[in-house]
A and B are shown apart, each in its own frame.
Chain A
Amino acid sequence: MSRIVLDSVTKQFPDGTTAVQSLDLEVGDGELLVLVGPSGCGKTTALRMVAGLEEVTSGSIYIDDRPVNDVEPRHRDIAMVFQSYALYPHLSVYDNMAFSLKYRKVAKSEIRQRVAEAARILELEPYLARKPRQLSGGQRQRVAMGRAIVRQPRAFLMDEPLSNLDAKLRVQMRAEIAQLQRSLGTTTIYVTHDQTEAMTLGTRVAVISGGVLKQAAAPQELYRRPANLFVAGFIGSPPMNLVDAAIERGDGGLTVVFGPHRLGVPAAVIAEHPALERHIGGQIVLGVRPENLHDAALVHDSDPAAIIELPVRLREELGSEVHIHGAIGTAAHVSGSESDDVHSLATMVARMDPRTAIREGQTARVQVDTTALHFFDRATGESIRR
């Protein structure tokens, strides 16, 4: 059981690229922290620095309050699960799991007992004598987990351990890893580029982009109160609709204006976002989650001040829901440095009830849940709150 702290950790490669920039992060005892971000964002480099596979350029890493910058990987007492599983191909499943214990001079009887226990938990008992090449992808993944478990390390480090599995198996293994981590209570850092994996697994999720920590919070907090445009656009599927908008003072309150559309901002929302006042007459970025856009025809007491009309470009049937892509009549928000990462289209996507009668080519009357609007500073990309 242990605590891992990254104190303004920076990694710069010899070619000058900065992979991680003064990263501050704390992983509590028994916590499962997920590092998530697009590929090349520095999340794997951060994990490798904790493992000791990459040197830290500046800053410090602590495992249980002990600085480990200069400690060799083998003396950090951590176990790592690799994307490729990295099983020793010439050793049997049993020997793969027992490998590190043998070199740590654990008694033979204890090795046997620990491997048997891990094999039981992971349902690997029938395969102990097999070589990795004789196993399926899911079984190999389990052996990689088993190799980490038998060590009883201070922490697990997992680098995209599910990305080589097919979609169905990935969902199953995701649940298994979550259960296993909770029952063992071992501090874990888990790296993934898949936001669903991040949200479902993490006690806390740290979103990283361009080597910089964008936000670290519990999954719900991250979803409900994204701290900036990057997190808003990255977490959620389909992603949050982001449009350039203006704030105006209307009769008795504030109004958000984007293209031909006007939305009244409820008093409760203004109270929650006092900083909005400072942006009156100025430009902001408005964020609306797809599930906060409803078919006005299906809403009982629809509010005329919160209805916008969108020409429908596309209707996507998903069975349990319908995605309506409506043209917003103005340019979608594109932020300079993040334009590649943030999903920006000149349409708004609404996740609607499957009973909706809205069809392509029609103009949809869309009820916006104005209590769930997000506002961002257009210059800084930060959320406008206090």
Chain B
Amino acid sequence: MTAAPAAPAGPASAARPGGATPPGHGWAASRLRKKMSTWVLFTLMVIVAIVMLYPFWYLVDNAFRSPGQFDRQSGHALSGWKELFANLPVGSQLINSTLVCVAAIAIILVVSTTAGFAFAKLRYRGSGTVFLLVVSALMVPLQSIIIPEYVNLAKIGLTNSYAGAVLVYAALGTPFATFLMATYYRGISDELIEAAVIDGLGYERTFLQIALPLSLPAIATVTVLQFIQIWDDLLVGLLFLPASQRTITAGLATLSAGRTTSIPALMAGSLISALPAIGVYLIFQRHLVKGLTLGMGK
């Protein structure tokens, strides 16, 4: 915490020149301290917000300039957009991104909710070890396994296709999602599950009718986090997808690979590609906060 300068309380303040201490002086001093620390905190947060938002402003501002205007940093034009659409199949790449994202997230959700429920509620011999294995997969960086992964998929003929990229994204996202879902399901009381079992449901229906509806905040959290991760990913998109099926992020990378790079066109593309992720975040935001703070208290 920031230590705001404040009047010392107690006998020291009573001895100050000016005479008698009014009743409730200590209370006023603590209120002043609180006010000061609020201001310090507020100022800090404004600074952090500027640091975070400035690149985004830079992106929007320069997306609407021509290369000349970009160099001079004055004036606005739509030439960057024209160039972007002339050089890049933006529409189809957005569709590619969406397809890959939706398919991978669907797989992640199916696996992580069922596995998370099993880890949390159907304890079996060795389940702790299996859970540990799954969680330890979180610590493996993508770059270190991407080549073996490519070789594996090439052997079964899944490179250069949506399926390959979707499977890789699903495999990369599932460990964290499973961890999150298991944590969430642990927070649901055992008695609730047992009540459903006694009420006549098998474990499958208990999962579908009770656990799944209750875990919507966690599902929203997984969806948003994975959407942002997969949508923004470059490496897998470049490696596993052919030019015709490239995602928007991979497409933008190829845009800057030419001899001359038009920064405004790149900015325009980046802006388009950022919007869906922002949209998804805004839609699920309320649940996201609930999901991320789960297990923090009653």
Contacts and interface: CB of A to CB of B under 8 A. Distances in A.
A119 interface: no
B214 A89 contact: yes
Contacts of B189: 84, 86
A82 B210 contact: no
Contacts of B191: 82-84, 86
Contacts of A386: none
B195 to A, nearest CB: 4
Contact of A74 (B192, B199, B213): B199
Contacts of B200: 74, 100, 103-104
A278 interface: no
A74 B198 contact: yes
A127 interface: no
B197 A53 contact: yes
Interface of A: 51-53, 73-74, 78-80, 82-84, 86-90, 99-100, 103-104, 147, 151
B199 A51 contact: no
For the complex of A and B, the 5 pairs showing the least CB-CB separation, nearest first, are: A100-B199, A86-B195, A86-B191, A74-B200, A82-B191
Nearest to A53: B194
Contacts of B196: 88, 99
Interface of chain B, main secondary structure: helix
Contacts of A104: 200
Given A53-B197, A80-B194, A99-B199, 8 more contacts: A51-B198, A52-B198, A53-B194, A73-B198, A74-B201, A74-B202, A104-B200, A151-B199
B265 to A, nearest CB: 48
A74 B195 CA distance: 10
A80 B191 CA distance: 10
Interface of B: 189, 191-192, 194-202, 205, 210, 213-214
A86 B193 CA distance: 8
Contact of A86 (B192, B201, B214): B192
A382 B275 CA distance: 79
A334 B276 CA distance: 73
A300 B194 CA distance: 60
A86 B194 contact: yes
A80 to B, nearest CB: 5
A55 to B, nearest CB: 13
Contacts of A100: 198-200
Contacts of A151: 199
Contacts of A79: 198
Contacts of B195: 80, 82, 86-88, 147
B192 A73 contact: no
B214 A90 contact: yes
A77 B191 CA distance: 18
Given A84-B189, A89-B214, A78 B198 contact: yes
Nearest to A79: B198
B205 to A, nearest CB: 7
Contacts of A53: 194, 197-198
A103 B201 contact: yes
A147 B194 CA distance: 14
A88 B202 CA distance: 16
8 contacts: A51-B194, A51-B198, A80-B198, A82-B194, A88-B192, A90-B213, A103-B205, A151-B199
Contacts of B202: 74
Contacts of B199: 74, 99-100, 103, 147, 151
Given A83-B191, A86-B189, A86-B192, A74 B210 contact: no
Contacts of B192: 84, 86, 88
B287 to A, nearest CB: 14
B214 A74 contact: no
Contacts of A52: 198
A53 B198 CA distance: 8
Contacts of A80: 194-195, 198
Contacts of A103: 199-201, 205
Nearest to A159: B191
Nearest to B205: A103
Nearest to A157: B198
Contacts of A86: 189, 191-192, 194-195
Nearest to A83: B191
A16 to B, nearest CB: 16
B197 A74 contact: yes
A53 B210 CA distance: 18
A87 to B, nearest CB: 8
Nearest to B192: A86
B129 to A, nearest CB: 15
A15 B200 CA distance: 30
Contacts of B201: 74, 103
Q: Which of A79, A83, A87, A90 has the most CB of B within 10 A?
A: A90
Contacts of A74: 197-202
A352 B141 CA distance: 76
Nearest to A100: B199
B114 to A, nearest CB: 19
A144 to B, nearest CB: 9
Nearest to B197: A73
A104 B202 CA distance: 12
Nearest to A14: B125
A79 B200 CA distance: 10
A80 B189 CA distance: 15
Nearest to B214: A90
A147 B195 CA distance: 10
Given A82-B191, A83-B191, A88 B210 contact: yes
A131 to B, nearest CB: 12
A87 B210 CA distance: 10
Nearest to A105: B200
Contacts of A88: 192, 195-196, 210
A346 B189 CA distance: 44
A88 B194 CA distance: 11
A95 to B, nearest CB: 11
A308 to B, nearest CB: 50
Q: Which of B191, B198, B202 has the most CB of A within 10 A?
A: B198
A105 B233 CA distance: 49
